[in-house]
Each structure stands twice: as structure tokens, then as C-alpha cells.
Structure 1
Amino acid sequence: MELIQHLWEADSDTLKVVVGVALRLLIGARRFYRRGWGGLQHFRHYLPALVTLFVEGMLYLVANGLILWGLVGMIF
């Protein structure tokens, strides 16, 4: 735990970018493997589709924010 805290404090901008990119890759992979022959995402029921897409959308926004925050921190 102490190592993670030290890494977060020492090079937090790089870590923010790495975590943001990792989140985007995770979401992209989940979306990719949910696609069928026609290129559409397939869900068994409507409610899980709504919840999944909403949560993934929010995580995607968080990932973009982390990437931008990290890049701005690196530049300035």
C-alpha cells in the first residue's frame, strides 16, 4: 500500500494517463466482444443494456478526464 501511495505522489500525472488509457481499453474491449455479425451490441434484456451502457459511458467520461488531467499536469 505504501508503494502505491508513493507512486501516486511521485508521478501522479503519468499514472493518471495510464489509468485513463487502461479504462478506455477495457471499455472498448467489452464493447467489441458484445458485437454481433451486424456490428450492433447484443443484450439479452433491455434493463441490463441501459445500466451497462450508462455505467460504461460514465467510466468513459472519467477516463477521458483522467487523461486530460494527466496531460495538462505534464505540460504545466
Structure 2
Amino acid sequence: MPMPPPKASTEGPRDRQVFHEMGQLVRALEAQGPQTPDGLQELVGASYWESGRFDRALAFAVADGLVVVGPDDRVTAT
């Protein structure tokens, strides 16, 4: 039985850029301390990022345990 063709992209859901963006979030939090998501977005200049990139990078950073969201919704580097 033949193998199915490979996926169109081998990058997967995490492209190289999202790792860079996650690093920006962590560095900003380490330098400036806990932030609201809106404050963090402003710190990293995410308004200039492609639509949805900030939320995606933040979600991956939380999932990987690089940052945590506290009960007051402030984001903190771990």
C-alpha cells in the first residue's frame, strides 16, 4: 500500500517565528515584571505583529510553562 503524500508544510503548528515571539514575551516580563495581557502586548509592540500572533505566542508560552497567568489576569515569567 502506498504511503500518503506528506503535509504541505513540515513546520507544524509552531513555526520558527512563534519561538522568537515567545522569547520576546518572556524577556519583556523578566525586564518589566508582571503585566496585564494588554500591557505586555504594548511592551513587545505586538500591534505591529500579524493578526493573532500575540495570542498564539502567549498561549504557547503558557502551555510550555514559560509564563503563568495569575488570578488577577497578570502574566508573569516563571
TM-score under structure 1 normalisation? 0.35
Which structure's relative contact order is higher, taking Cα pairs within 8 Å and 6+ residues apart?
1
Radius of gyration: which is bigger?
1
TM-score under structure 2 normalisation? 0.34
